A = this chain, B = another copy of it.
Amino acid sequence: MKSKEPFDRVSAAVSESRLWRRHVDMGQIGATPRGGVNRLALTIEDALAQTQLLQWASARGYTASRDEIGNLFIRRKGTDATADAVLTGSHLDSQPTGGKYDGAYGVLAGFEVLEALDDAGIETVRPIEVVAWMNEEGSRFSPGAMGSAVFTGSASLDEMQGKTDRKGISVRDALAETAKRCPVPSRRLGEVKPAAYVEAHIEQGPRLESAKATIGVVLSIQGSRRFLVAIFGEEAHAGTTPRRHRKDAVSAAVAAISALESLTADAHDTLRFTVGCLDVYPSSPNTVAGKVTFTIDLRHPDEATLTDIGDRIHTTVKEAAALRSCTAEITNVSYVKPITFAPHVVDRVRAAARDEGYPSMDLPSGAGHDAMHLSRICPAAMVFVPCLRGVSHNEAESATPEDLAAGTRVLARVILELAG
């Protein structure tokens, strides 16, 4: 049992109360009246969250750096200066009415592992880096998981820096603003090649809670496609224009979404179809709308299904719009294919849960995570902990200090093993 001794020490050094306090502190940045957070990517709240993390890192003597797409790295040295680092982390940005644990937990759990290693007096061969990936949520800038996509070469730096929010502010300009608000030494993309990546996250679904499991051993992430639809009609007076003469973009959008709901109906209820944003122009009560835009989020674990259904969206929307004398343009925003995690890292997560004595279950992830991009360039895995009723992307999102600490202990064991 001697070989297990450092694992038990780091596990024992994980502090449930410190970890919880960090969540409370972080949850005050961008706090909303209903108990959640509003910390959109590259806003002042995001910069404040990063500043908070940097203060904690500085107190421990860890070094920090930020790459060209705004990913923030906190580094704890290894004994081999030439070894590739083991990465862990998640994101500090949130949905506009998001919860306190989605993303923040992965960053704070990773940071707790660094502190626990310090407190246990353990050195690792490889350096360990905690990462806060830029714009995972994709709420302000689309697509989401932007920072990890650029880091892993799945997306182009230049193209992503050119993306704009609804006010027309580019990622490039918002990054410069964040650099001013929260200055950190620069690092070049590609400077660090990860030896492995492990991300802790709340489940954002109800399965662990139902099964009374503390640890979710994540096997895979379903694929997702994003589309942006624009429907073009003609503005007209609401009082004078007969229905047969109208080109009503709202009516066409309603017909299109109804048709898409039929297209995506699934007896297994596995296919996920969501219209989360819809904007009407010119948005006047007594003017027939000339234009409507809306987003489509489509997900499925099976790539063939996702390709098939997703490819039928264009025709479905155009046909529905034409029935209302309108036209439609559909843009493919992103297609992230389903991934499976590296079996040998997944096995370690399962073993660590067993070593800690936590009930665990294997499961796929319904949500996308930065780990999906990392898994394309290095062995990767995820550790899930339960959240109340599976509610997430909601200010009511909730998790217990015990579960958060349990996931961190599992993470600490896996990281220590990977970092040697």
Any chain B CB within 8 A of the CB of A329? no
Contact A284 B277 (CB under 8 A): yes
Contact A280 B276 (CB under 8 A): yes
In the complex, chain A residues 242-280 whose Cβ is within 8 Å of any chain B Cβ = 242-244, 248, 250-251, 254-255, 257-258, 261, 266, 269-270, 272-280
Any chain B CB within 8 A of the CB of A142? yes
For the complex, count residues of A whose C-beta is within 8 A of B.
Answer: 68
When chains A and B are docked, how far (Å) is the Cα of A289 from the Cα of B294? 12
Contact of A393 among B224, B238, B276, B277 (CB under 8 A): B238
Q: How many copies does the complex hold?
A: 2
Contact B224 A239 (CB under 8 A): yes
Contact B269 A276 (CB under 8 A): no
Any chain B CB within 8 A of the CB of A394? yes
Contact B297 A286 (CB under 8 A): yes
Any chain B CB within 8 A of the CB of A390? yes
Any chain B CB within 8 A of the CB of A295? yes
When chains A and B are docked, how far (Å) is the Cα of A249 from the Cα of B235? 26
Most buried by B among A241, A242, A299, A368: A241
Contact A237 B282 (CB under 8 A): no
For A106, list chain B residues within 8 Å (CB): none
Contact B236 A393 (CB under 8 A): yes
Any chain B CB within 8 A of the CB of A210? no
When chains A and B are docked, how far (Å) is the Cα of A22 from the Cα of B393? 54
When chains A and B are docked, how far (Å) is the Cα of A148 from the Cα of B289? 26
Contact A297 B238 (CB under 8 A): yes
Which residue of chain B has its CB nearest to the CB of A248?
B274
Contact B239 A97 (CB under 8 A): no
Contact A276 B392 (CB under 8 A): no
Contact A394 B236 (CB under 8 A): yes
For A367, list chain B residues within 8 Å (CB): 237, 239-240
B-contact 0/1 string along A285-320, CB 8 Å cutoff: 111111000010101000000000000000000000
Which residue of chain B has its CB nearest to the CB of A40?
B284
> Quick one: given A237-B205, A238-B299, A366-B239, are A286 and B250 in contact (CB under 8 Å)?
no
For A395, list chain B residues within 8 Å (CB): 235
For A258, list chain B residues within 8 Å (CB): 254-255, 258
Contact B257 A254 (CB under 8 A): yes
For A366, list chain B residues within 8 Å (CB): 237, 239-241
Most buried by B among A137, A237, A281, A295: A237
For A203, list chain B residues within 8 Å (CB): 240
Any chain B CB within 8 A of the CB of A88? no
When chains A and B are docked, how far (Å) is the Cα of A278 from the Cα of B280? 6
Contact B392 A236 (CB under 8 A): yes
For A95, list chain B residues within 8 Å (CB): 282, 284, 286-287
When chains A and B are docked, how far (Å) is the Cα of A394 from the Cα of B234? 8
> Quick one: given A204-B237, A240-B204, are A285 and B394 in contact (CB under 8 Å)?
no
Any chain B CB within 8 A of the CB of A63? no
Any chain B CB within 8 A of the CB of A135? no
Contact of A243 among B241, B269, B288, B392 (CB under 8 A): B269
Shortest distance in angstroms between A28's beta carbon and chain B's nearest beta carbon? 20
Contact of A299 among B142, B239, B288 (CB under 8 A): B239
Most buried by B among A236, A273, A390, A395: A236
For the A-B complex with A96-B282, A222-B239 known, give 16 more contacts whose Cβ atoms are closer than 8 Å.
A138-B286, A144-B285, A204-B237, A204-B239, A237-B394, A242-B272, A243-B272, A248-B274, A251-B257, A254-B258, A274-B286, A276-B280, A276-B289, A277-B284, A278-B278, A288-B393
19 A-B interface contacts by CB (under 8 A): A96-B283, A97-B290, A138-B284, A139-B284, A144-B286, A205-B241, A222-B239, A236-B392, A240-B392, A243-B273, A244-B269, A250-B257, A250-B275, A254-B258, A274-B287, A276-B286, A277-B283, A278-B278, A286-B297
A binding-site residues for B, Cβ under 8 Å:
95-97, 137-139, 142, 144, 203-205, 222, 224, 226, 234-244, 248, 250-251, 254-255, 257-258, 261, 266, 269-270, 272-290, 295, 297, 299, 365-368, 390-395
